[in-house]
Each structure stands twice: as structure tokens, then as C-alpha cells.
Amino acid sequence: MKVYLESYGCTFNQADGQIMTTLLSDEHELVDNIDDADVVILNTCYVKLPTEQKMITRINKIKTEFPDKKLIVGGCMVEVDPIRLNKFAGDACWIGPHKIDKINEVVNKSINGEVVHECGKTSLIKAGTHNKDFNSLTHILQISEGCNGSCTFCCTRIARGHLVSYPIETIVDEAKMAISQGCKELQVTAQDSACFGLDSGESFSELLNKLASIEGDFRIRVGMMHPKSLKGQLDEVISAFKNNEKIYNFVHIPVQTGSSKVLEEMNRLHGLDEYYDMINQFRSEIPDLSIATDIIVGYPTETDDDFEKTIDMLYEVKPDIIHISKYMHRPGAKSNTLPEIDHKVMKERSHRINEVKTDVMLENNKKYEGTVQKVLITGKGSSGGFVGYTNSYKNVIVDDVQIGSFVDVKITEGKRTYLKAEKI
């Protein structure tokens, strides 16, 4: 049978889609056009309300435009909101994130007219060399699934469950396989990379050191690290970054708010002073470090004073990348019992913080003008030229280069979200 798969959401979910694609290729024909498919698999994301609405719209569109095709819904929506999913696709097959190894079984049952809902948590190890597509310049390296946190606003924990760390040896074997087949960038990914090993007794810094010791000319991008997980091993992790040139000088450490009060109400399990200390220690050891962070605007208990503290924090830390989300209730999240703040206030705060984002990110990128940077070229630009990344994971646009190569460039202009450069 011909199968078409769409994946949405985070890097981890994209890797889940790749695993399913590889497994499906053993028994079925994968197609790139939904018109050609007998079976359509929708690998959903459900982290935010706009994404939820997008997923439901997509489900309805597929069912309306392709009523004769078998639909299978996968991804986080299956675990987070089965009641709502049942309203829109109760007659379709489902496959949860922890059951993706059963994808061929679900497809075959769907073809035979059965409706099966494969849901529930397992301790499935997704790392390994047997079920991934290695024919790519960039390889997503899943190191664990789930987390050991309990942030009040989060529903991803419901979908992904408690922490399951994958064995270091298995992860390294997968990385070696990818690099041997031409991979130039390993994207270390998890719901919280820094909590790797807290359940298994292995060490996150040991994993990074072993990945960086693999022979080859490549780079490692480390995914999001929760401050609560990082604070107990900060020196070891900083050392791994500092002593391994293959690891990008880039960290994603989300703070969510600049208010100590709201941090506690979010149950983030770290203090604001601890966050500042982490950033300062990283920067003192790695001066050209790039920092990404996440901000939630309008958490139900956020006052005007709390919001101003977030503004002040951003101007003090000056992150290179700022991801901003408006707070919205999510299914199963503990904060759902709290009344949302006025949407007009939410809109005003969002507008203000986006102005701060523009100021801070542009100021940071302007500092690179005139500098010479070594850049890994990863693909073509959407508006021309080629896209690459500096050692500090700054996004660069340059002409006349080859994908997959490392080139020296001179930065000619710093834009808000990228750097313009010319090849030397």
C-alpha cells in the first residue's frame, strides 16, 4: 500500500516521524504526495492552542477531501486529548508516541477496515541504528523521552510521560552511523536534555564528551536544557561545552518569566538567581556563547509588576534567541483551574515583549559585523543564497558555497534573526 506521512511540532516529534517512515518502508511504499496515498498518517503536535486548532483543521480537511483514504492520527494529541480527538476522528486509527514501533501493524489493520487505538506509555528505546534515516546532512539524535518536571502550564509531559533515558552506548552507535554516512550536524534532542541519565545513573556530560570524541568533521547542537535539571551538574556540562570544539557554543535554557513569584507558581523548581548564575557561568567560560530562552506572556498570576520584571530580565540577560508564547490553557495542565488574564492585556504585553525581542536580538547580531566566522553550510536559503551556522550557532546567509562544507566568511550585516555574510 502507498502511505503518506505528515509530521508537525518539535524536533523530537519529527524524529518520531522519521522512525515510522523507516519502519513503513519495510512493508509499504512511501509517497510524497497525499493524492497518491492509500493511507494518510498525521503525526500531530499539541503543545499550544493555535497548534491544536491547526491539527483539528487538518484532520477535518483530510477527512473531507479524501474520504476514501485511511486516516491514522499519531503524535501528542493522541495522549493529551483523546476525548477531543474522538469527536473529530474517533473512526480513524490512532497511534501514540510510545507505540510507534507498531506502525506497520496499525496500517495493516486500518487497510483491513479495523479501527485500533494504540495508546499508553511504554519504555520504548527509540535510539539505535536500525530504525532511523541516516541519509541527511542533519541528524536528529533522540537521547531520552519524557521529563521529571511538573511545570503547571505544560501538557507535553502528559503525552511523553516520565523520563526514560536511552543507553549512552546505543546513542553513540547511532551517531557514529549517521556521521559515517555524511551527517555534518547532530541535533541532540529530548523534552529536557539536561535531565538525561537522572533515571539511569548515566551522565549527560559523559554523553556529550563521548559524542564529541567521535571521529569526523561535524557539529553537535544541544537541545533545550531545563534550569532545574542543569543546576546540579552545571560545572560538568559547561566543561563539556568548553572542551569540545565540535559542540556548538549555543545553549537553550528557558526561563519563562522574570518574576521569582511567577516562577514558583509555575512550579519551575529553580530560582531566578539560579538562572542568572547559570548564564553568567556559561558566559564567563565561553565568551562567544549564544543563548536561547523561552518566555510565556500572560500566565494567569502574572501582574503588571511581574511582567515588567520579565522585560528587565530580558534587557539584562540579552538572549540571542527569544521564543515568546501567549499563555493559553492546555488539556490536563495544572494551571487550567486559574482564570486567564484579560486578552486585551495579553495582547498589549505580547506586543511590548516582541519589541524587546527585536531590540535585543538585533543588538546582539550587530556586534558580529566585520568579524570572520567559520560556518557550516546546511542548506539553501528560502529567499536565495545558502544557510549556514557559525560556531555559536548564529544563522548566516551567504552566496557561492557548497552545502555540507565548512567555509570562512566575513559578516557584512547583522539582521534581527540572521547574519549576512560574504565568503572569504
pLDDT of residue 79: 97
Sign for the CA dihedral angle at 297, 299, 300, 302 comes to: negative
- pLDDT per residue, tens digit, the chain (424 aa), is 999 999 999 999 999 999 999 999 999 999 999 999 999 999 999 999 999 999 999 999 999 999 999 999 999 999 999 999 999 999 999 999 999 999 999 999 999 999 999 999 999 999 986 677 777 899 999 999 999 999 999 999 899 999 999 999 999 999 999 999 999 999 999 999 999 999 999 999 999 999 999 999 999 999 999 999 999 999 999 999 999 999 999 999 999 999 999 999 999 999 999 999 999 999 999 999 999 999 999 999 999 999 999 999 999 999 999 999 999 999 999 999 999 999 999 999 999 999 999 999 999 999 999 999 999 999 999 889 999 999 999 999 999 999 999 999 999 999 999 999 999 9
CA distances from 315 to 106, 332, 344, 357 (A): 50, 33, 24, 9
Instruction: Decide: 294 and 323 in contact? Cβ < 8 Å.
Output: yes
- 87, 84, 88, 103: which is closest to 43 by C-alpha? 103
pLDDT of residue 140: 96
Instruction: Decide: 127 and 141 in contact? Cβ < 8 Å.
Output: yes
Cell of 296: 510565556
Strand pairing report for 321-326 and 386-389 = unpaired
Q: At what angle do helices 49-65 and 82-89 cross, to 10 degrees?
A: 20
- 225, 237, 227: which is closest to 194 by C-alpha? 225
pLDDT of residue 249: 98
Q: At what angle do helices 343-366 and 304-317 cross, to 10 degrees?
A: 10
What is the C-alpha radius of gyration for the chain, rounded to an integer number of angstroms? 22
Strand pairing report for 2-7 and 29-30 = parallel
Residue 410's beta-bridge partner residues?
372, 422
Helix (H) and strand (E) counts in the chain:
14, 19
What does the chain come to in residues? 424
pLDDT of residue 132: 76
Cell of 169: 552506548
Residue 294's beta-bridge partner residues?
323
Strand pairing report for 290-297 and 321-326 = parallel
